[in-house]
């Protein structure tokens, strides 16, 4: 018997009586529940560690049971080859796909590619080659790139040129294998070079490769520039991947100020079929918090 059907047959709804509302029941095994989310939301490992305490592979099965169709794993490159292969095999068995992992050569959170120095470029390109092999094991199509911090000793135009040159070299490695680096403008610290969607759009145009696109993280862009839908419209032709998180707090939709119903409606009407990564924490702790998170996504999922 398939795991999803087994859970339905044992009446999983009895386990969620502590979370009220019909939408909760429909998310946890009611006959009214849809088998999968319509939008391709992608959780990450650790998000359901209380509901599936047996480790990452049990957690991945739990994600599939709840109707998720994709997975994000930022730390994929740090996992053993054996675990990467197991993740890829299980994703295939569950009919799920791999979202982003991070191309992290250790230089994402310091001054690096903006400098134009060979030592940083060499690390980045070596990590791109490593990423190609990891991507093959899990059938990944996207990988996150962060160019690092500003170099305060160089004019902005020179830094931008250095980043473009590095990304062109990286694209040459990734493009033959169908792997796309998605550049992520971030809000974590003002020291980061890549901060805004229009800046990222310009860099993608300059790199001019199908392997260099934008990762539009709604949480970070709300913090840095707001005006989400209008900004996405202006930069849409370079957006290949989307991530989610409400602001303030960086938790699931409905916990902050972003009207995710309208944002998802716009994305759906644009015909976006890509992965939407759930790169945020849980608003509430424990199993109840994990159930509430799934209910939050049921509430904002766009119905076809």
Q: What is the pLDDT of residue 18?
A: 33
Q: What is the pLDDT of residue 107?
A: 85
Q: How far is CA 177 from CA 62, 132, 164, 211, in A?
A: 30, 7, 20, 9
Domain span holding position 162: 41-300
Domain contains 221? yes
* Rounded Cα distance, 31 and 88, in Å: 31
* Rounded Cα distance, 122 and 33, in Å: 50
Domain contains 190? yes
Mean residue pLDDT across the chain: 90
Residue of 252, 263, 257, 240 whose CA lies nearest to 292: 252
**Per-residue model confidence as pLDDT tens digits over 247-301:** 999 999 999 999 999 999 999 999 999 999 999 999 999 999 999 999 999 999 9
Domain contains 174? yes
Domain contains 9? no
Q: Which two tokens stand for residue 115?
A: 């400098």
Q: Is the predicted pLDDT of residue 32 greater than 80, yes or no? A: no
281 Cβ neighbours under 8 A, 6+ residues apart: 249, 250, 251
* Rounded Cα distance, 182 and 210, in Å: 10
DSSP assignment letter at 256: S
**Per-residue model confidence as pLDDT tens digits over 190-238:** 999 999 999 999 999 999 999 999 999 999 999 999 999 999 999 999 9
Domain contains 273? yes
Q: What is the largest CA-CA distance in the chain?
A: 64
Domain containing residue 295: CATH number: 3.20.20.150
Tell me which of 263 and 31 has the higher pLDDT: 263
Domain contains 54? yes
Domain contains 6? no
* Rounded Cα distance, 155 and 160, in Å: 9
Q: Provide the domain count of the chain.
A: 1
Q: Taking the model in full, what pTM does it have?
A: 0.89
Domain contains 35? no
Beta bridge partners, 44, equal 72
**Per-residue model confidence as pLDDT tens digits over 143-190:** 999 999 999 999 999 999 999 999 999 999 999 999 999 999 999 999
Contact 294, 116 (CB under 8 A): no
């Amino acid at each position: 018997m398939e795991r999803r059907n087994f859970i339905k047959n044992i009446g999983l709804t009895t386990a969620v009586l502590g979370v009220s509302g019909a939408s909760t029941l429909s998310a946890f095994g009611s006959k009214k529940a849809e088998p999968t989310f319509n939008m391709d939301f992608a959780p990450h490992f650790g998000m359901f560690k209380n509901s599936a305490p047996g480790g990452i592979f049990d957690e991945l099965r739990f994600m599939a049971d709840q109707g998720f169709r994709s997975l994000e794993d930022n730390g994929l490159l740090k996992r053993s080859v054996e675990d990467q292969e197991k993740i890829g095999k299980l994703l295939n068995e569950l009919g799920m796909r791999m979202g982003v992992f991070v191309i992290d050569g250790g230089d994402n959170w310091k001054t690096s590619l903006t400098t134009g120095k060979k030592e940083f470029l060499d690390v980045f390109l070596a990590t791109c080659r490593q990423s190609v092999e990891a991507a093959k094991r899990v059938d990944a199509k996207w990988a996150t790139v962060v160019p690092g911090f500003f170099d305060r000793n160089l004019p902005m135009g020179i830094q931008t040129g250095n980043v473009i040159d590095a990304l062109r070299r990286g694209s040459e490695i990734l493009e033959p294998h169908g792997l796309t680096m998605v550049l992520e403008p971030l809000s974590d610290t003002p020291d980061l070079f890549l901060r805004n969607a229009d800046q990222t759009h310009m860099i993608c145009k300059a790199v001019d490769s199908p392997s260099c696109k934008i990762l539009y993280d709604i949480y970070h862009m709300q913090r840095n520039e707001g005006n989400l839908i209008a900004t996405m419209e202006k930069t849409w032709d370079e957006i290949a991947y989307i991530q989610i998180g409400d602001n303030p707090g960086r938790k699931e939709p409905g916990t902050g100020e972003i009207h995710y119903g309208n944002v998802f409606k716009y994305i759906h009407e644009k015909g976006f079929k890509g992965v939407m990564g759930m790169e945020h924490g849980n608003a509430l702790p424990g199993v109840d918090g994990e159930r509430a998170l799934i209910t939050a996504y049921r509430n904002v999922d766009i119905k076809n």
